[in-house]
Amino acid sequence: MIRPIYLYGSEVLREVAVPAELSKKEEIAALIQDLWDTLAASEGCGLAAPQIGESVRVVVVDGDVMADVYPYLKGFKRAFVNPEVIEESKEQVSYNEGCLSVPGIYCDVLRPKKIKVRYYDGDLQPREEEFDNFAARMIQHEFSHLDGVLFTDLVAPIRRKLIGRKLQGISAGKVATHYKSTLKK
């Protein structure tokens, strides 16, 4: 089911998400399907459960949207349940990020180039995997949502000041999206 994406200013985006209860397989499967459906309708490359109003540690990423720029992402799709980054590289890279919950704003964000993640996949099987480059970027961006952190929190202070008015506008509901969205305080 396609759900509305919660926008900047919505309280759920600032909560630390709780772990998914692995015994509730049907609920997790339904949430993952809603994330996939909502992501496809919004044309994004990743979505975290808090972005659809569920404060639970579940994320999906789909690299196909970026395959024109990064061919190695063709067919790259993952669902992450209760993920944790267990290693990250010292080398960091900057990339201009955007977010479905913060429409119309893009900022350079510094993140580790490589990460190693422990998680349960969509079938609730335990996995451990390494990611690098843009795959690592997408994953880290979505994982930040699980801790109540938005990419705009990670930008240089001067840049944050420059986008302050736009952020206020989004939190006041003065924004239009091409996808289903909502602002809930």
Which amino acids are annotated catalytic? 142
State which H helix or E strand residue 61 sits in. Answer: strand 58-62
C-beta separation of 183 from 9 below 8 A: yes
- Spatial CB neighbours of 93, under 8 Å, sequence gap ≥ 6: 110, 111, 113, 133, 137
- Rg for the chain (alpha carbons), in Å? 16
* Three-class SS state of 166: helix
CA separation (Å) from 74 to 60, 69, 77? 15, 10, 9
* Three-class SS state of 108: strand
